[in-house]
Structure 1
Amino acid sequence: MTDHRSFSAPTYGARHVAIIMDGNGRWAKKRMLPRFAGHKAGVEAVRRTARAAQEMGLEALTLYAFSSENWKRPESEVSDLMGLLRRFILADLAEFEANRVRLKVIGNYRALDPSLVAMIDDAIARTADFGPTTVAVALNYGSQDELARAAQTIARKAAAGEITPDAIGPDAVAAELDTVGLPPLDLLIRTSGEQRLSNFMLWQAAYSELYFTDTLWPDFNGDTLARALEEFGRRERRYGGL
């Protein structure tokens, strides 16, 4: 098994990795446990993976924590997820500060409960000047919504005469996305064996490598991440060229 402690992500050229964290429910079902137990184990996987990402030298790790479609889940499950998020911030902010890891949140998180928004804003502010590792958490995030919000911002600028239509290119769009300031996405991982993007980072994944693993998210760790990065290092990225 790979020892992630001796692994260096820059060796393989990866700066930014994103993960669709899937399989909490199936992990719990296999063990005849309630779904909440799977989500709680998933939080532990977040901790392990964030620590490993910093040890490996990644500049950015983006985690799909709660999608804009997850509101369709039972109210009790949504409440459990929000409670876990609160506890994660309370319990882990000190570790983020001690390790100088910057926290970023993407998605329309301001639509969440005001007290939770205040906690998130405080955590973001307290880690804003840290680096070089950033952990970005996608909350109430949907890529189509992100692109629509970016288009609205650009349209308002054009209507105000701040930009001309001819000036609207890929860079102008990227500058209005939630991921502005993060390195380009190199590798997108999805756990649990599913092979779809589920409305996650559609723009950013245009030229990223995709990696699918049967590992359920609560079982994910630094070794799993290292194997994904090793596979990434073996791939040849042409960006449409020869």
Structure 2
Amino acid sequence: MSVGLDYAQAAEARKLFQVQRSIGEGELLKLLAVIFKAFVDSVRVPHKPDAADLIELAETVMRKYSHDSLKDIILALKEARTSGRNFFQELDQGKIFALLNEYFDKKAAFLESRHLDQKARGASAQSQAVATLGDLAPKLMQQLADRIPDDHPNHDVLRARLSLQKQRWRRGLPTPDPEEFRQQQHAAAFRNPRPDWQARPDAPLGETGKYVRQLRAENEQQRLRNSA
């Protein structure tokens, strides 16, 4: 049961009060007494606690460490046995409680260190996410700004202008500066709210309409040359 056991596993294991609810107080008391008996038998000293002392020890531990696990008790005893601890010819309840207290001090230091590490990793990941978002935010905002509203009066014309411009870029034809084109497109798409505005079918073409007509003509000429 103690093979491969460490502080993390002991901390995640079921607590004594949970085991008590599951199997009953009497069974838990017997289980603790057996664990302490196995530990006492493994220590080579002439003076050891007897059965009554072990039962009393088990009951005290069950009350005092109710929110720690059986694996905590097992790991504490294992560390005491494998660390070369010297009991000076006698093992009593006081020495067992001393080694338990020493174990829980080390466990508390481990849990605190793990918490700080997790907190540092979380802060690092959060900083990285914020930095990534900071890099993407301007692009996302710009894409949103460049989107043409569906209800824009010149929606079709502006979309056609974008399509023609992309075709010219793909075919290697002369194109205006990308940043300048983006600014023109953004300026053309922007409009102040005008709920009373009505389209005029007979309205003359503006600069954007003339530019789109020119692009269409150039695109048609290029298509004819390619098909010839």
TM over 0.5: no
Using structure 1 for the length normalisation, give the TM-score.
Answer: 0.23
Using structure 2 for the length normalisation, give the TM-score.
Answer: 0.24
Q: Which structure's CA Rg is the greater one? A: 2
User: Which structure is higher in helix share?
Assistant: 2
Question: Greater RCO between the two (CA within 8 Å, min separation 6)?
Answer: 1
